């Protein structure tokens, strides 16, 4: 690792298909961040099993996500790319940190309440303990920087609280991480309800553009996208949420400013506008999909990347875990 660079940690679950919101808000940003930070990028399969998964699908989606990371520009030569469950220190540190987390604060987590309502037949301890495992993920690598969406802000605050509690009890051990709230791509709305964030687990998949969608599907979904009353193509999130959302997407996929996009579509109709946005997105997704398919055909290469990534991650994680075990009094041989 480059000691002159700060350490950054981020992860995505290998569940459902990722949307363009996930790409713009997370993975695309990682490509730029890996140039300036010591980056640890994980495939969070341990977090994924808080909701029941089909084992064969989880394995397939884990490898598929690794291929997608690389297809999008995440470079294993410039960062540590690994699968969370391949580094045992995550679970081992989580157990220790559980003794610094309180039931009341876990029960107050918005995501725990939301998921408990959605999965009322499976309110397991993993759902409640999710933020403690996330704290372990971050603190293991002494991450100074964590890029997060606003929906994860509570979890980052818990990680910071737990780090401070441990440090106060046993002397400085963990770096207290700072959140970086990504502005680019952070607020991509659902195409059918632009007041809501585009989600990979939305009940109606018609409002989400998945990175695996083919061109016909992308165009069809954009044609059905909600616009607004009136005919002006103008960025006004408060009064024209649908059009503003489409302008944001077009801007991000064409590297044009919103103002440039407004001028480009001045005097043109919504139908023509929506088709142009769909084509811009589809044209960007096609090469990503092609490269992901090429990588998936080379399983030996992907396995090698993940093996090296797990070894590199384990070296850093084990140093932190050994320090923690020593401080809390575990007998070591």
The one catalytic residue in 5, 6, 200, 256 is 200
The one catalytic residue in 28, 61, 115, 187 is 115
| Token digits of residue 139 | 């603190």
113 is an active site residue:
no
For residues 147 and 286, give the distance between their C-alpha atoms in angstroms, rounded to a whole number. Answer: 27
115 is an active site residue:
yes
Longest CA span, the chain? 75
Cβ density class 245-269: b for 16+ within 10 Å, e for less:
bbbbbbbbbbebeeeebbeebeeee
Evaluate whether 170 touches 100 at the Cβ level (below 8 Å).
no
The one catalytic residue in 28, 61, 187, 197 is 197
215 is an active site residue:
no
Of 146, 151, 38, 136, whose CA–CA distance to 96 is shortest? 136
The residues assigned a catalytic role are: 115, 197, 200
């Amino acid at each position: 690792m480059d000691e002159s660079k700060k350490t950054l940690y981020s992860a995505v679950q290998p569940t459902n298909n990722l949307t363009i919101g996930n790409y713009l808000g997370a993975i695309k940003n990682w490509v730029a961040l890996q140039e300036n930070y010591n980056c640890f990028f994980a495939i969070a399969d341990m977090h994924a099993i808080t909701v029941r998964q089909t084992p064969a699908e989880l394995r397939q989606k884990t490898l598929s996500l690794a291929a997608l990371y690389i297809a999008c520009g995440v470079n294993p030569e410039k960062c540590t790319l690994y699968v969370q469950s391949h580094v045992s220190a995550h679970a081992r540190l989580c157990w220790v940190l559980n003794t610094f987390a309180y039931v009341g604060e876990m029960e107050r987590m918005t995501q725990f309440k939301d998921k408990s309502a959605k999965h009322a037949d499976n309110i397991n301890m993993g759902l409640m303990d999710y933020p403690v495992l996330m704290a372990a993920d971050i603190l293991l690598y002494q991450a100074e920087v964590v890029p997060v969406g606003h929906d994860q802000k509570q979890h980052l605050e818990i990680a910071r609280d737990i780090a401070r509690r441990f440090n106060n009890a046993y002397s400085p051990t963990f770096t207290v991480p700072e959140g970086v709230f990504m502005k680019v791509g952070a607020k991509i709305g659902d195409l059918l309800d632009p007041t809501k964030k585009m989600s990979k687990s939305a009940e109606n998949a018609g409002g989400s553009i998945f990175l695996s969608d083919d061109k016909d599907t992308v165009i069809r979904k954009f044609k059905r996208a909600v616009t607004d009353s009136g005919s002006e193509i103008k960025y006004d999130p408060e009064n024209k949420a649908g059009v503003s959302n489409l302008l944001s997407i077009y801007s991000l996929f064409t590297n044009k400013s919103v103002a440039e996009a407004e001028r480009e579509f001045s005097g043109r109709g919504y139908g023509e506008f929506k088709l142009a946005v769909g084509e811009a997105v589809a044209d960007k997704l096609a090469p990503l999909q092609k490269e992901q398919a090429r990588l998936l055909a080379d399983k030996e290469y992907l396995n090698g990347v993940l093996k090296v990534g797990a070894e590199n991650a384990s070296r850093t994680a084990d140093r932190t875990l050994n320090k923690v075990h020593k401080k809390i009094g575990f007998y070591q041989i």
